[in-house]
Structure 1
């Protein structure tokens, strides 16, 4: 069991008096609210991680009445206090395993450091009263992993003088000498707005900005200017661009959240996807936090809590990853998985190694991120596109699918019809999507997620529901797409509980590139490619013999179930063959088909085992193989 620190609910007096300005109110006493606002949550319940008064007293002791502290003393003092604070954060993190606390406290450390340095720079240089130091990017959100960049902006007056430049350079050189990785920009208010007009990345960074030090009135003016700019824009234009950026990023990292060595930050289902939802929240709904989105009715309380849990877990993993690598590493490779799993308390249990249980937890968190993205998209479709739906030509809708209709290539359940009144509709939905090459409307997927609990044993035993599922699996159109959609929505594992057990299950070896469920879905897609001839060049023999197979249904069901018993104590081929004897009749397969499926699963590793471990030139090897296979159909 993972050891996660339960945060206390009381606020420290020192946190209340912090000089840090923020447009976001302090979170209430609910723990998961603080996970959504790491910096504000840290300030609400903890003492400051750096003692600014102690730093200033030490520096004052080095100064004389006429000259401020010299640069080397300033650097030494700040480095000592920074190193002590980071060491303390690291020790606390290894005790609590709470990434949300770490990233918030680390951001607070940097805030106090910058405020102290800014105050000392004002004693060394003039011009500081006319500048504002603004936190942007991840630092602006109040989220700092151990080796995150510190993104800051110096907000300047209209007329920049040499004194302003010297002030900024003094600060930057100290920060660089401290070994901090600083991402900085220097702009006036007008230049900031112009840059935001030209570059969505700049606009996004301004959505996350916080005042840290200097002239607060300048930050207030910039914040108001940004809000005025947003008010004049159409939310969907920004949202669609951000979702487009997300899709391109996903393609760079494999376009699946189920790779065995995922990128925690930029991969599909990673932290960057949560950041995208945060940006959409800020821009489209003029909200400062996910908590405000709940109050606006966009998310339910339970959905926001899932957001918080996913974010907290991903932050915890990322912090461990940085500390293990001693650098800003985002790829959760095999070595890191082996190190981090026991640190989070994952031990071997129930046929699964500790590292496999850890990665299953990771993939489930990544899937939650995908579900939340769909819910956001559904809400925006409803809130911002109502006027667009009215003018769409009627031929874009198919009315004979009552209670469903196809709208712009997406299947949608009528608003006045509920899944819970007839849970078989959860299967019908995907059968229609498969038959008509359609996607599923985001609002309907949102309703699917909320109705999963209604898919019970009665629906699982329903003959019509099983026939619909079998039709999807054995469709002449590639079933991989719709089966993956069923899996992502949670319907697949709910309808076929044995499959649910392998969802997000990692295969900790060098032979598999995906989780068990993703491997299975890709295998079904490859089988379809062989059948249609799309893979003739890669698999010519398999393509040639495929039309000679007597039972397509048995082959596709065997492909679905071949790894169904992974993660259980015992031989997964033997156990999987036993599962098939139960599942196949439920799906409507005949006794003969059931026996074939069970045999295929039992021996699905036989050919590769003989090919790689035995002498194929030995006649006895061939005879032994033939005695097991017995027929060309099984072969």
Structure 2
């Protein structure tokens, strides 16, 4: 990373005296021409501001610190604002004999008041006057504001008297906080001093508990808006948990409770003795890093960007001097540094709350009532040797407790979890400082292993306990395999959290399934949880399932090795070690089979059952898979995925329950045949007119749909025979999708045309089931969502009507009327290098070739791929659509015009090349795209 530069002096960047002299000279040169005076003054100020910002930018890019850069930018802004004020009051609206009412002070408030600015931060100014507004003051303020706007500042401003400031600050904590940070810039210094003195005496004094409560409530609400985890992979540097605003909140509270003369954040906290030397260093390190990131983001984007999005992360990593190291890309190294800093901010918050408690601002944990002074502490209650409860928190009898027996570092979190206690911040800090006591002997101590398993598998709230252990560095010290994934980021759009945060959330999901909290969302997982015989193995596998990220041989194999190593050190039985390692190695298998394969195909269930082998593994894998998917991030889990997993589980369970071997595909075929026979008999009894159609449908169709759905499909096919096409739709709340059925006369390119219609309507396809009767009647069923991940058309009937109309027209073979909308930009997804792949598999199905196509996700991709399949003269049996952030993974079951697998090698190679060409196109190709374009793309792939 870049070498840190020596701090620069402001006068070497911008000389305020010289700047004022230049403004005076310009005013005198254009005396009598106010417009020319203003133009010249703004040119001079604009040049000074630009030069100052460019020097700050250059120094930042060469290794200057974030605090230095923010102060330099604030200092340059101070000089520009003060010079503008002098110019305005001397050369434009000079009061030669100012009255008492014409006194005016200009103050910086809010973030600007702290003396730190990002390149495009708002400028918060307070024009302070002694009495009501005078024409002179109004003219000065108006002239300055227009000038600042012309200079490119976004100005937040207020013009108030001292009394108005005091009254409003009593009513509004935001105003109170901004005045807490007020700093005199120029103008009447006595007036500014009067405000600050009266503010401390009349507003601050005696209201500490009220202010603390308001700021903590404000912080909690802000975290909810920005994301409740400090480990979100696209963090908000300013507002997010673990960001600058959290550090600001500490400073505000500290300064409010112990007013100091200095407005400097770091020195103010040091003077307050809120932190010891180590915490002060951590505070400065965190704020310096965050300010550097924020300034780089502003300079890189040319706007006040506060969210560190995927497309920004590589650029900021390069600007801050991070490079690739081994298998760790620069962007992931940079983001890990960010998350470690965010973790440190959380630790600082805990230490700070301990100091507040000592000052009796807080006395009871839980609820804002704890902030009211005068509440007596509860009595001490011994919990275990060296541990005691007091005031609802768990304490320790000093660091000697850990030094005497390092296993107590783990017991601390076990006792807190068992007793339902919060950790006293002093105990947390002591544990964090002594985590290095955990060495090889402790890692192989059977008692330590028992403590960890008690927390993990039998704890009241294992997610919370393990999160505290992680933040105190105890978990990573005890499990080195875990330590390697702490704050590790996966640079993709699929995962919303760091690897360790994702895993801890997944552990929490399993705990929620076990205690019935997810019974409505996951009824099957909830029902089978009591049947699992080795819950310790399940939770160990969940805790260790991602420890192979970035490891040699791939995530699954590296994870299995890490799991074996960890479980052996924990003293587990050989049987459990192998089970945990198997679960870690295969933790993605069930989701892959459910989402990328056709469960109605006997081969799918046989192949999956051959991997799983036993009903116990099947149960373990289902719960593990549900928790893993749900913990990826908001909106990733939906009813559609739940339905697919349930179908695969039940089909595999039926195979095991029947006592048949994992390779008995014939038995599964007989099961489908019998099920189809029974379904046809029931349909003939209830709807005789549909008997002939039912006899012409393949057996697999009846395994995929209920009797009611079969009757509805049959009626739809009859309607289509009269009008050439027919559509039907229903909102599936259980799948969080709209189920759209289309019946039409089968023909080449039908599925491609329907896919194009779905794309034109803006529908996101989750999956498709394609069935064709022996009489040539096509029935295609799509499951679709809107752009927000909801069931398509659930809240927008007009959009649903348009979709149905487009599908109806496409079913009849009519040309679609395109609305000329421009192709969507890739946006954040452009930050990712996606290598497209196409695999043709003739072993995954007994009757069809399975094409798995993976590439950059984009609107219209399914349509483009469907056209390639149609161009190849292939018929589609089913399509399975899935997305992982920026990457789409689509699987197609296809047969040739003879109903057989694609076994012709040259033809398969051409299909693969065409599929790759479609995947590599930056934007989706329109329906009926030119053959020249396809040939060009194919040639590019061949090269």
**Could you say whether these structures have the same fold, taking a TM-score greater than 0.5 normalized by the shorter chain as the test?**
yes
Displacement, 1:393? 4.8
Number of the residue aligned with 2:122 = 149
Comparing 237-246 with 606-615, greater Cα deviation is found at 606-615
Structure 1 residue 183 corresponds to structure 2 residue 145: no
Number of the residue aligned with 1:248 = 221
For 1:453 and 1:297, the matched residues in 2 are separated by: 26
Number of the residue aligned with 1:28 = none
Indicate conservation of the 8 Å contact 1:483/1:492, yes or no. yes
Change (3 A) 1:521 1:58: same
Displacement, 1:632? 1.3
Number of the residue aligned with 1:581 = 564
Change (3 A) 1:542 1:390: closer
Number of the residue aligned with 1:534 = 517
For 1:389 and 1:167, the matched residues in 2 are separated by: 49
Match of 2:14 among 49, 69, 80: 49
Change (3 A) 1:393 1:366: closer
Could you tell me which runs of 5 or more consecutive residues in structure 2 were left unpaired when the two chains were aligned: 364-372, 619-943
Q: Deviations over 1:500-542 (max 9, x none)?
A: 1111111112221111001101111111222222222222222
Number of the residue aligned with 1:210 = 183
Number of the residue aligned with 1:120 = 87
TM-score, scaled relative to structure 2: 0.61
Q: Deviations over 1:416-473 (max 9, x none)?
A: 8543333222211110111122211223223223322333333323221221111000
For 1:352 and 1:386, the matched residues in 2 are separated by: 44
3-state DSSP of counterpart to 1:111: helix
For residues 84-163 of structure 1, what are the structure 2 equivalents within 5 Å?
84-96=51-63, 98-122=65-89, 123-127=91-95, 130-163=103-136
Number of the residue aligned with 2:246 = 273
For 2:132 and 2:586, the matched residues in 1 are separated by: 78
Structure number having the greater strand percentage: 2
Q: Deviations over 1:364-400 (max 9, x none)?
A: 1111111101111001111235997883454xx5334
3-state DSSP of counterpart to 1:133: strand
Number of the residue aligned with 1:192 = 165
Indicate conservation of the 8 Å contact 1:566/1:572, yes or no. yes
Structure 1 residue 325 corresponds to structure 2 residue 324: no
For 1:549 and 1:340, the matched residues in 2 are separated by: 47
For 1:88 and 1:408, the matched residues in 2 are separated by: 53
Indicate conservation of the 8 Å contact 1:350/1:567, yes or no. no
Could you tell me which runs of 5 or more consecutive residues in structure 1 were left unpaired when the two chains were aligned: 16-42
For 2:541 and 2:426, the matched residues in 1 are separated by: 34
Indicate conservation of the 8 Å contact 1:258/1:363, yes or no. yes
Displacement, 1:401? 2.9
Indicate conservation of the 8 Å contact 2:166/2:203, yes or no. no
Number of the residue aligned with 2:411 = 428
Number of the residue aligned with 2:424 = 441
Indicate conservation of the 8 Å contact 1:55/1:81, yes or no. no
Match of 1:470 among 453, 456, 480: 453
Comparing 152-161 with 417-426, greater Cα deviation is found at 417-426
Indicate conservation of the 8 Å contact 1:493/1:500, yes or no. yes
Number of the residue aligned with 1:7 = 6
For residues 294-313 of structure 1, what are the structure 2 equivalents within 5 Å?
294-313=270-289
Change (3 A) 1:125 1:418: farther
Comparing 49-58 with 448-457, greater Cα deviation is found at 49-58
Indicate conservation of the 8 Å contact 2:66/2:292, yes or no. yes
For 2:26 and 2:362, the matched residues in 1 are separated by: 66
TM-score, scaled relative to structure 1: 0.89
Structure 1 residue 227 corresponds to structure 2 residue 203: no
Comparing 379-388 with 456-465, greater Cα deviation is found at 379-388
For 2:296 and 2:322, the matched residues in 1 are separated by: 14
Displacement, 1:489? 2.2
For residues 168-567 of structure 1, what are the structure 2 equivalents within 5 Å?
168-229=141-202, 232-287=205-260, 288=262, 289-384=265-360, 391-394=376-379, 397-414=380-397, 418-475=401-458, 477-567=460-550
3-state DSSP of counterpart to 1:510: coil
Displacement, 1:323? 2.0
Indicate conservation of the 8 Å contact 2:5/2:59, yes or no. no
| Structural RMSD (CA) | 2.4
Change (3 A) 1:58 1:435: closer
Change (3 A) 1:72 1:473: same
Indicate conservation of the 8 Å contact 1:50/1:85, yes or no. no
Change (3 A) 1:97 1:620: farther
Match of 1:60 among 25, 36, 47: 25
Structure with the greater alpha carbon radius of gyration? 2
Change (3 A) 1:78 1:522: same
For 1:272 and 1:368, the matched residues in 2 are separated by: 14
Indicate conservation of the 8 Å contact 1:269/1:369, yes or no. yes
Indicate conservation of the 8 Å contact 1:352/1:568, yes or no. no
Indicate conservation of the 8 Å contact 1:236/1:384, yes or no. no
Q: Deviations over 1:133-175 (max 9, x none)?
A: 1111111111111110000111112354211111211111111
Q: Which has the higher contact order (CA 8 A, sep 6+)?
A: 1
Structure number having the greater helix percentage: 1
3-state DSSP of counterpart to 1:96: coil
Q: How many residues align?
A: 598
Change (3 A) 1:385 1:55: closer
Indicate conservation of the 8 Å contact 2:226/2:239, yes or no. yes
Number of the residue aligned with 1:624 = 607
For 1:239 and 1:4, the matched residues in 2 are separated by: 39
3-state DSSP of counterpart to 1:610: helix
